[in-house]
Amino acid sequence: MNVRRPRLRGSDLLLAFLFFITAVVHAADGLPDLTTADGGHYYGSLRDGKPNGRGRVEWDNGARYEGTFENGVYQGRGRFVGADGRRYEGEFANGLFDGRGRFESPNGEIYEGDFEKGEFTGYGTWTSPSGARYRGSFLKGRMNGEGRYYDGQGEVYEGEFVDGVFKPLIEQRKLLDAALAGVGRGQPGRIELYLLAVGGDGTQEVFRREVEFVKQEFDQRFGTRSHSIALANSKTPSLPMASVSAIEEALGTLAERMNREEDILFVFLTSHGTPTHELKLQQPGFALRDLPAPELGRMLRRSGIRWKVVVVSACYSGGFIDSLRDDNTLVITAARYDRSSFGCADDAEMTYFGRAFFKEALPQSRTFQEAFTKADELVAEWERKDQPKEPRSLPQLRTAAPIEAQLERWAAQK
């Protein structure tokens, strides 16, 4: 969720070149009209011994300028190429980029728009080789004012920027930092449970309510108070926003604080799901990209956390199983890969599966697997009653002996 600022700074842009004459050579064929104090070779018109009008200057290190001069200073339109490969074409004033122009850095970042006294100031477009781009207002080289930022991976931020940061993200950053700072370290030699709860679709409050309920229950029942992070999108945000980058950052923090070879991470994700097995991430006012099953699997593997329980409550969530399953992971989903799940109304307290598993079954069960069996029966009963014409959601569970043994060791220790 971090908007990356353009790397170009004002110091990259200042080019106040004054041409003091060290030698004047009224050009014979191929000879410069004068040589500048810094060794540049000038070819063009002169007035009172200084470059005036059209001309060009070249240096031995490869730098060059071609355009108009006034009393030895770049003035008007011109083209500059630096020894390091940076390029600018546009308007100059008093030797600086000033007016409309196009700047390209050596690493391929491009700014096209307004300049003032050598810096991006005004309205323009910035693009990066990574695919990130921004179109809007700038002040002294940073995004500032109204604009639209695309991160190159699907997330879009549109609105007001302040000093290079999307304004609504300033408060979000504070919320996320506070949540990450509250995660405590594991105790060596003791198996502990850590929780990451994610509510994806902020256009319906049921997912936020579900995340808040699960976090409260786990903090009280399983001792995760200093071992839990909740992210949720909402029309009235109170938790850190659930974006792909925030989920990955939360996983990184949990991995760093846990004992990754013995502690267990419980991941709960609730949202709408797509037939192509992506978890919907929507926050009013933002354009977030969804979380595909393979990317979630890669995130968890990169974290280095060995033992995991992952519950995905969404339509078509069974399509996450293949990307998540291994001998050290218990995977539970609210539906089969080709089925819808139910209960995601804006005014609902919880979804069918969330209520059945976390509220009704888990408090009466010794294990997560036992809670799943009871929840499956409850969901079937509710669906037959409330959705008689719809196909059953068919919740799924995939497990393996190693993760079950680790969960038993954790339960026995409790």
Condensed to tens digits (0 to 9), the pLDDT of residues 330-344 reads 999 999 999 999 999
Residue 244 near residue 281, CB atoms below 8 Å: yes
pLDDT for residue 351 is more than 90: yes
For the chain, what percent of residues have pLDDT higher than 70? 93
Question: Which residues lie below 8 Å from residue 266, measured CB to CB, with a gap of 6+?
Answer: 193, 194, 195, 196, 218, 224, 308, 309, 310, 311
Domain boundaries defined on the chain: 10-165, 170-413
In this predicted structure, which of 9-23, 90-104, 275-289 has the lowest mean pLDDT? Answer: 9-23
Give the mean model confidence (pLDDT) for residues 140-151. Answer: 92
What is the model's pLDDT at position 237? 82
What is the model's pLDDT at position 16? 40
pLDDT for residue 121 is more than 70: yes
Residue 103 near residue 13, CB atoms below 8 Å: yes
CA 345 centroid distance within chain:
28
Give the mean model confidence (pLDDT) for residues 258-272. Answer: 97
For the chain, what percent of residues have pLDDT higher than 90? 79
pLDDT for residue 8 is more than 60: no
Q: Which residue's entry shows tokens 């037939």?
A: 275
Question: Which residues lie below 8 Å from residue 7, measured CB to CB, with a gap of 6+?
Answer: 105, 107, 109
Question: Which residues lie below 8 Å from residue 390, measured CB to CB, with a gap of 6+?
Answer: 340, 342, 383
Give the mean model confidence (pLDDT) for residues 281-285. Answer: 87
Mean pLDDT across the chain: 91
Whole-number Å distance between alpha carbons of 34 and 51: 9
At 113 the three-state DSSP class reads strand
Per-residue pLDDT tens digits for 232-257? 999 888 899 999 999 999 999 999 99
Give the mean model confidence (pLDDT) for residues 358-381. Answer: 98
pLDDT for residue 168 is more than 80: no
Q: Which helix (H) or strand (E) holds 323?
A: helix 321-324
Per-residue pLDDT tens digits for 66-108? 999 999 999 999 999 999 999 999 999 999 999 999 999 999 9
pLDDT for residue 20 is more than 60: no
With cut-offs at 50, 70 and 90, classify the pLDDT of residue 29: low
Fold of 10-165: 2.20.110
Per-residue pLDDT tens digits for 43-52? 999 999 899 9
Amino acid at 164: G
pTM here? Answer: 0.71
Whether domain 170-413 has CATH 3.40.50.150: the reply is no
Q: Which residue's entry shows tokens 């003035």?
A: 75
- Other CB atoms closer than 10 Å to residue 405's CB: what's the count? 11
Q: What tokens appear for 235 in the block?
A: 């029309």
What is the model's pLDDT at position 155? 79
